[in-house]
Structure 1
Amino acid sequence: MTDSMEYTRLGTTGLEVSRFCLGCMNFGTGADWMINDEDEAIEVIDAARDLGINFFDTANTYSNGESEKILGQAIQGYDREEIAIASKVYFPATDSPGPNQQGLSRKHILEQVEDSLDRLGTDYLDLYQIHRWDDSTPIEETLSALDTLVEDGRVRYIGASTMASWKFMKALATSDIEDYERFACMQPEYSLTSRHEEANVLPLCADQEIGVIPWSPLAGGFLTGKYSRSDGPDGARMAEDESAPEERWSEEEWAVLDAVREIAAERDRTPAQVSLAWLLHKDVVDAPIIGPRSIDHLEENVAALDVELSDDEIERLEAPIDPEWSSKYT
């Protein structure tokens, strides 16, 4: 376990957040990989707080709002000023959405923020993010609605997630021209095996001094080293398509994992710690979003703060993949 948590500012804001953000997507019901028991989920949240994590990320759509409710239960015992709560809007918060129950219209945003605040049991969100870009709604309408939320105090900062860099720059430019609140951070997929954002939004974030909080930093568990080419954990096969792990990931991705395992063995660390340490070494990254399923996994992840990688080790980890981006990632 690390001796102490580290903190950083989110982008150019004054908001101080822990170097790891606890992702809450796996709190609730709906899938075997989730923490279905509310008490167990709260125990993980409390353990994260004990480790110094003050940044928590959820969304209205996670388990149809269950994630927000569980996080809301956990934070009732905390000093609200000491924690930063982030949620998102775009996807529906129900399995059977009707008209106006998804997207980034002014109507949907203003209704969903109230629902999120109610489930979380708080008067404001520290960070409210658009979960995706909405081609059906003018960005001016979306930004105007978000600006209203900041003006009236229901939201402190706004952010975005997973989109083409030209769309993100369009939003930033619109804010500048119309004097709307500007996006303070971006939440992209980013890991050693998913580096496509290096050819898309990350250079823009660096140029515009936008905070970056990557999701899936362990590539859905692949970078924990729990898979072999023939079998998953306990011999399990990939549930979504019944394919063997060797078929699910490319040779380049397996080569990355080989390098991760080698460096982890050399340093007496775990593959997860090496993979997370690589992200922490990226100047553009503020706080990777981790989603541990247990307190042991949480402690293992946070201990990555103590791993210092050399330039040679970083080169070994990055060598197998030449980052490319395409619209399929949005």
Structure 2
Amino acid sequence: MQYVKLGATGLDVSRICLGCMSYGDPARGNHEWTLDEDTARPFFRAAIEAGVTFFDTANVYSDGSSEEITGRALAEFAQRDEIVLATKVHGRMRPGPNGGGLSRKVILAEIDASLRRLGTDYVDLYQIHRFDPGTPLEETLEALHDVVKAGKARYLGASSMYAWQFAKALFLADAHGWTRFVSMQNHYNLIYREEEREMLGLCADQGIGVIPWSPLARGRLTRPWDETTARSESDQFGRTLYADGDRRIVEEVAHIAAARAIPPAQVALAWLLAQPGVTAPIIGATRLTHLDDALASLEVTLTADEIAQLEAPYTPHRTAGFQ
């Protein structure tokens, strides 16, 4: 395993982050394809044995059951101080007023709820899952600062939003002396590269770690374009992210993978790991081979010609993944 600093911080994280949205009670929340606790445990054990120290979940994943499963598995297989545990806040956790968003009331309630489910006194990285236009940004930032000062989170991170929104958040935090965001969890992969226009440059300039979600484009980069899975057939959100024009990129990944005699996932992840500023892709694994491919990708170095071949078919996309 390789380890790097998260942005400009002193925090060391593994170059592969295990995304825990894949693990949760299938009867809770919106992800009926998730793995239940017994099925999920081997993934945590295998990741830890391979040197993975970075784990990412969210309060909204499987109605909180992802946090519950993640917390119990990590307590069983790892020492708390040896791992970097990340979770997120924003998604709706209950009906009615104040059931979601980034108000002070929601943030202070949800951090406590997440800690209870995770079975820990603190999270290493507390992230806003999306931008909340219905709450003054100053209110959100001050509440997050208070979470850090209360010892409930070590660092703060953000997720998909416009670069101007993130720049404003960084400016306001500096202006008021509040705890700054240190990471950006954004939508970035070979099929969706719109983050290269502004967000990645902003992160590089400001010393922000980049931990992309959906690094394999919901599995699109790992299989023939027309092949489906149980997840893809029920993933309404995923259907909004990609279009038929992206097929050519998937075909180029397959060609290079065949020439190298390695799985396509390793090629797609090797490309992402080679991009400037990328700290650790967040890998979703529902088969142990998914984790194996992620680990193996660390040893794959693409040539300049291969990178050019992969990037050539790209066409601009509308902004996606912010909702």
- What is the TM-score normalised by the length of structure 2? 0.92
Instruction: Work out the CA distance in 2 between the residues paired with 1:237 and 1:21.
Output: 22
Specify the alignment match of 2:11 in structure 1.
15
Flag the 1:14–1:323 CA change in 2: closer, same or farther, 3 A: farther
* Counterpart for residue 277 of structure 2: 284
Establish whether residue 250 from structure 1 lines up as the match of residue 244 from structure 2: yes
Contact preservation (8 Å) 1:199, 1:323: no
**For 2:203, which of 194, 202, 205 is the aligned residue?**
205
Shift of 1:157: 0.3
Instruction: Give a deviation string over 1:252-302, Cα, whole Å, max 9, x none.
Output: x11111110111111111100000000100121000000010222211221
Q: Contact 1:264 / 1:270 at 8 angstroms: preserved in 2?
A: yes
Counterpart for residue 24 of structure 1 = 20
Give 1:67 deviation, angstroms.
0.2
1:72–1:121 contact (8 Å) kept in structure 2: yes
**Are 1:293 and 2:293 counterparts?**
no
Counting only pairs closer than 5 Å after superposition, residues 30-41 of structure 1 correspond to structure 2 as 30=26, 31-35=31-35, 37-41=36-40
Spell out the pairing of 1:55-134 with structure 2 (5 A cutoff): 55-77=54-76, 78-94=78-94, 97-134=95-132
Q: Is 1:164 equivalent to 2:157 in the alignment? A: no
Q: How does 1:113-192 map to 2 (within 5 A)?
A: 113-192=111-190
Please name the residue that 1:262 is paired with: 255
Secondary structure of residue in 2 paired with 1:8: strand
Structure 1 residue ranges (4+ consecutive) displaced by more than 2 angstroms after TM superposition: 29-33, 231-234, 236-241, 248-251, 322-330
Match of 2:214 among 216, 220, 223: 216
Q: Shift of residue 240 of structure 1?
A: 5.7
CA contact (8 A) 1:26 1:34 kept: yes
Amino acid aligned to 1:83: I
Letter of the 2:16 partner, please give it: F
Asked if structure 2 preserves the Cα contact closer than 8 Å seen for 1:23 and 1:291, the reply is yes
Preserved CA contact (<8 Å) 1:24 1:57: yes
Shift of 1:32: 4.3
3-state SS, counterpart of residue 22 of structure 2: coil
Structure 2 counterpart of 1:249, one-letter code: A
State yes or no: 1:320 paired with 2:313. yes
SS in 2 for 1:223: helix
| Total equivalences in the alignment | 314
1:212–1:257 CA distance, 2 compared to 1 (3 A): same
Contact persistence 1:187–1:215 (CA under 8 A): yes
Pair 1:329–1:99, CA change in 2 (3 A): closer
Q: CA separation in 1, counterparts of 2:179 and 2:101? A: 19
Give the whole-Å Cα distance in 1 for the aligned partners of 2:90 and 2:137.
Answer: 13
**Which residue identity lines up with residue 12 of structure 1 in the other structure?**
A
Amino acid in structure 2 at the alignment position of 1:296: T
Query: Superposition RMSD on alpha carbons, in Å?
Result: 1.9
Is the 2:85–2:125 contact (alpha carbons within 8 Å) kept by the matching residues of 1?
yes
Give 5+ residue unaligned stretches, structure 1: none
**Identity over the aligned pairs, expressed in percent?**
49
Instruction: Provide TM-score, normalisation by structure 1.
Output: 0.91
Distance 1:261 1:71, change over 3 A: same
Distance in 2 between the 1:312 and 1:192 partners? 15
Distance 2:46 2:299 in 1: 18
The CA deviation at 1:92 is 1.7
Indicate conservation of the 8 Å contact 1:198/1:323, yes or no.
no
Q: CA separation of 1:328/1:228 partners in 2, compared to 1, >3 Å: closer, same or farther? A: closer
CA deviations 1:179-228 (Å, max 9, x no partner) are 11000000001110011111231111111111000000010010012x34
Q: 1:307 to 1:328 in 2, by over 3 A?
A: closer
